[in-house]
Amino acid sequence: MLPPQFGTYNVTQSVVVDTSGHDLLNFSLILGTHSTAADAYGTIKWSESDTSTDVTSMTDIVALTGGTSVVSGSTGWVIPPSTSAGLGTVVEFNIDLRKRKKYIALLITGGTLNGAINGRGIVCGVGHLLRSTESDDTAPQKSANTRYDNTAASACTTVVNV
C-alpha cells in the first residue's frame, strides 16, 4: 500500500513489493486533483531486482514506465494529466509476476506545472498479490461483506497490462 501523500517536484515516493510466491499483482494508483489542470507527475514507473530492495539499484521496466509522452526505449505509456475538478484519476496495473524479478517497486516523481511552478498532487495506491502458491487467509478470515451498491466509479482512465 502507498499511503496518501503529496507528490512534489523532483521528489520520488516509492513502495517495494516482495513478489515471492505470487503470479499476479493488481495495483490501483489513485492520482488526486490539483488546483491547476496540468502535469503534476513527471514519471510513474515500476522497477525490479532479484537481490535488492533499494529502488536506486533496481532496473526500470520500460513497458511500465509512464511519462508526459511515449519515448521509445524509456517510456511505455502516457500519465493522464491531473484535473482541477472531479474525482481525480485511477491508473490500474495488472502485472504478470511470472516474468518479473523477486522485488518490484513503484516509483512516482513529481512533475512541473506551467514550467516554473512546482508540481504537487496527492497520490495513493492499493495493491493485491494474486494467484498465490499459498493463501495467507482462511475462509473465515476473509470479509463476507462485499457490498458495492453505494459506490460510484468514474475517471478510470488507463489500464496497463503486461
Residue 66 scores a pLDDT above 70: yes
Q: Residue 51 — very low, low, confident or very high, per pLDDT cuts 50/70/90?
A: very high
Q: Once rounded to an integer, what is the mean pLDDT over residues 33-42? A: 64
Q: Residue 5 — very low, low, confident or very high, per pLDDT cuts 50/70/90?
A: low
On the CB side of 130, how many CA atoms lie within 13 Å of its CA?
10
pLDDT in tens, 107-134: 988 776 544 344 556 778 888 888 777 6
* pTM score: 0.72
- C-alpha distances in Å from residue 135, one per residue of 102, 107, 139, 140: 18, 27, 10, 13
Instruction: Match 511470472 to its residue by C-alpha cell.
Output: 98
Q: 9-23, 92-106, 121-135: which has the minimum mean pLDDT?
A: 121-135
Domains defined along the chain, listed by start:
2-132+154-161 (2.60.120.680)
Q: Residue 73 — very low, low, confident or very high, per pLDDT cuts 50/70/90?
A: confident
The Cα–Cα gap between 161 and 48 comes to 16
The Cα–Cα gap between 61 and 136 comes to 28
Predicted pLDDT at 50 = 95
Predicted pLDDT at 143 = 46
